[in-house]
Amino acid sequence: MGECGAGGDVNSNVLLAARSTGDSQLDRAVRQWLSWDKNPKTKEQIEILLQNGKDKELRDRLCCRLTFGTAGLRSAMGAGFCYINDLTVIQSTQGIYKYLERCFSDFKQRGFVVGYDTRGQVTSNCSSKKLAKLTAAVLLAKDVPVYLFSTYVPTPFVPYAVQQLKAVAGVMITASHNRKEDNGYKVYWENGAQITAPHDKEILKCIEECVEPWNGSWNENLVDTSPLRQDPLEKICDNYMEDLKKICFHRELNAKTSLKFVHTSFHGVGHDYVQLAFKAFGFKPPIPVPEQKDPDPDFSTVKCPNPEEGESVLELSLKLAESENARVVVATDPDADRLAVAELQENGRWKVFTGNELAALFGWWMFFCWRENSSKDADVKNVYMLATTVSSKILKAIALKEGFHFEETLPGFKWIGSRVKDLLDNGKEVLFSFEESIGFLCGTSVLDKDGVSAAVVTAEMASYLETKNLTLAQKLIEIYELYGYHISKTSYFLCYDPPTIKRIFEKLRNFDAPKSYPKACGPFNILHIRDVTTGYDSSQLNNKSVLPTSKNSQMITFTFQNGCVATLRTSGTEPKIKYYAEMCAPPGQSDKTFLEEQLQKLIEALVENFLEPRNKRSHQTDKRSLLLHSCCLSRKVISKLSAPLSEMSVMPKRAHPPPFVLEQYGVEVVLLWECRRLTPG
């Protein structure tokens, strides 16, 4: 960090003089925070911790910094250099300014885009809008033109605006679908895609060199007084809705459809923009969920504002759909960059589609529409679809049969966006891209996932299928029967202990001997292994991964002889070990039950052999260290367990599939697999 700035109020100076932590690094960090922070709420949080002798928490908050994950900087709101707050956003923007000034000679002519969602926290006096204004203030004080949206917008509007306005870069203040306590700082490059290496690392270096706020960085009034500030809202919204029509293929049919649609925006930004998107496609407006259509930073009607959690968070939407006789529900997450879809089935039950299932539908639909609307001499070999490597291989199967190209990228839409731009620059046509966590990109007007466009494309696809007497679920079965069933399961472990995570992955790299990967997982033989962390890929002649090496995260993929592909990786935004497993069957193998059973057995073997729940006989069991398969754990079930409820971490119910939750307090781990306890030994 830089040298401590002069100043600080009298109370802070007295407090600093009265108490030292005994740790010179921590004392310096405390001095810097109390000197630099002008937010009374977050400044007081540090003062109280100092006064009460909470040195460990002070160290946790002040002696590490935010780093770029798969979706930019993201953390809880609150005081500290590793939290999202006024000061860290100012520091981050100063670092970005320094880096962009180095990269672009025309930076002060082209400008910078800033958008924000509806998040906020009273206890830290921190909100997305305020953080966006501070971001703009830092740049305006340095005579940089800033395109700051006058109200909240979907995340896709920022990368779209960067391209439309020919800005050098942009920032979206959002934590997407994260818990209400979180916020984030998502950076886009001039190409309209999220930043990747080396930009992320170079920006972090510049942030470290610019930690003391500059004169003018705290001056929010510049947003209202500077002639360099412009509001791009009307232009960008109009242009976006016009570009959206490029992927509308049945406008007349849309206007006549008998289908009704319900939309929920999960208390976020999506309501107004999804309404406009449906209008652009010729639809009647979707029916909004009244309790969830307006912004609410507390997300008061859901435990978790993540539509991927399934029926448990879609309860209000499904009830409204039933009362309105609407068969399809579309749900955008709080920043409207992701989409969940539910459809009422003939048996009266709702099917909530997984991200991989929706991708199969979108992939079929976008290729079908391309073929229907292309000239006879259109070259299918010029067509591409993309997916992240942890996502379903269904697009690969479709591409092999239909003759177009399919490519994989590393996890995170930043890699997809950059690759799409490269393909477009080389004259290729990209129809569809996705990641399994319900992130979809139909077309290429935006180079990031887009829940608004995905919602209205879903409506058009469902309306077309209705004319063929087909539902989305029925069409999905047809797709799998034609291209091969792809049965997948995705879930995660929560682990707050980084050494434990590292040990798990290092064990896989040194399984039976040093630098030796496993040859089998239980009864399942392994065909290939790809370790993106180290750059190893046994399927390549030179044993080198085609995907870029990513040493800052853990990811190993196992390809089995039975057609299953399984990946273990760490999350870039949350303390999770995620797993992705998929059984890829050839066309004609339609025994879905058998495939599901095989996949389940493999997942059980994966947990049993690679996460070692039994292999610690010599240690005492720490009752607090529990791994729960929380499909729908009731208090009655929990009460039978040996540890009290207060000592467990149980995540909300999730429909497809249930998560695992790991609280690591000591060396011993007890695994509950489908509520069956497996004790050590």
Q: Which residues are catalytic?
A: 176
- C-alpha 162/C-alpha 82 separation (Å) is 28
Torsion 444-446-449-453 (CA) sign: negative
Using an 8 Å Cβ cutoff, are 83 and 43 in contact?
Answer: no
- C-alpha 337/C-alpha 464 separation (Å) is 24
- C-alpha 578/C-alpha 69 separation (Å) is 15
Instruction: Return the structure tokens found at 270.
Output: 């999506």
Using an 8 Å Cβ cutoff, are 62 and 43 in contact?
Answer: no
Q: Name the strands in the sheet holding 670-673, side by side, starting at the edge strand that comes first in the sequence.
A: 660-662, 626-629, 670-673, 676-678
CA 681 to chain centre: 38
- C-alpha 519/C-alpha 511 separation (Å) is 9
- C-alpha 312/C-alpha 101 separation (Å) is 47
Instruction: Return the structure tokens found at 33.
Output: 């925070």
- C-alpha 335/C-alpha 71 separation (Å) is 13
Q: What is the DSSP letter of 4?
A: P
SS3 state at 101: helix
Number of helices followed by number of strands (H, E) in the chain: 22, 28
Using an 8 Å Cβ cutoff, are 336 and 273 in contact?
Answer: yes
Q: Name the strands in the sheet holding 146-148, side by side, starting at the edge strand that comes first in the sequence.
A: 73-76, 182-189, 169-173, 112-116, 146-148, 229-230
Helix (H), strand (E) at residue 279: helix 270-280
- C-alpha 229/C-alpha 232 separation (Å) is 10
Residue 340 pairs with which residues in a beta bridge? Answer: 331
- Please give the C-alpha separations between residue 213 and each of 91, 216, 314, 382, 586, in angstroms, as whole numbers: 7, 8, 43, 49, 59
- C-alpha 89/C-alpha 172 separation (Å) is 12
Helix, strand, coil shares of the chain, percent, nearest 5, are: 40, 20, 40
Residue with tokens 């007084």: 225
Torsion 100-102-107-108 (CA) sign: positive
- Please give the C-alpha separations between residue 344 and each of 349, 458, 478, 535, in angstroms, as whole numbers: 6, 14, 18, 45
Residue 560 pairs with which residues in a beta bridge? Answer: 526
DSSP structure string for 471-530: -HHHHHHHHHHHH--EEEEEEEEE---HHHHHHHHHHHHBSSSTTB--SEETTEEEEEEE
From the list 628, 659, 657, 655, the residue with the least C-alpha distance to 641 is 628
CA 463 to chain centre: 29
What are the backbone dihedrals phi and psi of residue 348, each rounded to the nearest 5 degrees, phi first? 85, 0
Helix residue ranges, H only, 331-471: 355-373, 394-402, 413-425, 451-467
